[in-house]
């Protein structure tokens, strides 16, 4: 059981960091035909980093410091 758990732990890291995946963006019916549209292939790690990087740059430093000071009191 421990050997299998070790293999799955390594496999999880491989899939999340190195195995690109096509993500389904749209699935619907157009002119009587079913159409599937996929996003570009990228790893789950790349998708998460793409979502996390943009909010970091959009942070308002003054509002953030104000929130920190409110929680300190």
Give the span between the Cα atoms of 66 and 69, in whole angstroms: 5
Q: What is the pLDDT of residue 40?
A: 95
Q: What is the pLDDT of residue 60?
A: 73
Number of H helices, E strands in the chain: 3, 2
Threshold 0.85, pTM exceeds: no
The residue among 27, 71, 23, 28 whose CA lies nearest residue 51 is 23
Identify the residue whose tokens are 């929680």: 71
C-alpha distances out from residue 11 to 6, 8, 15, 18, 20, Å: 9, 5, 6, 10, 14
Q: What is the pLDDT of residue 63?
A: 77
pLDDT tens figures, 13-72: 999 899 999 999 999 999 999 999 999 999 999 998 888 766 666 667 777 778 778 887
């Amino acid at each position: 059981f421990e050997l299998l758990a070790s293999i799955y732990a390594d496999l999880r890291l491989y899939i999340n960091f190195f195995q690109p995946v096509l993500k389904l963006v749209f699935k619907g019916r157009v002119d009587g035909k079913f159409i599937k549209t996929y996003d570009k292939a990228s790893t789950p790690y790349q998708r998460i980093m793409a979502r996390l990087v943009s909010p970091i740059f959009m942070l308002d430093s003054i509002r953030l410091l104000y929130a920190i000071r409110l929680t300190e009191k």
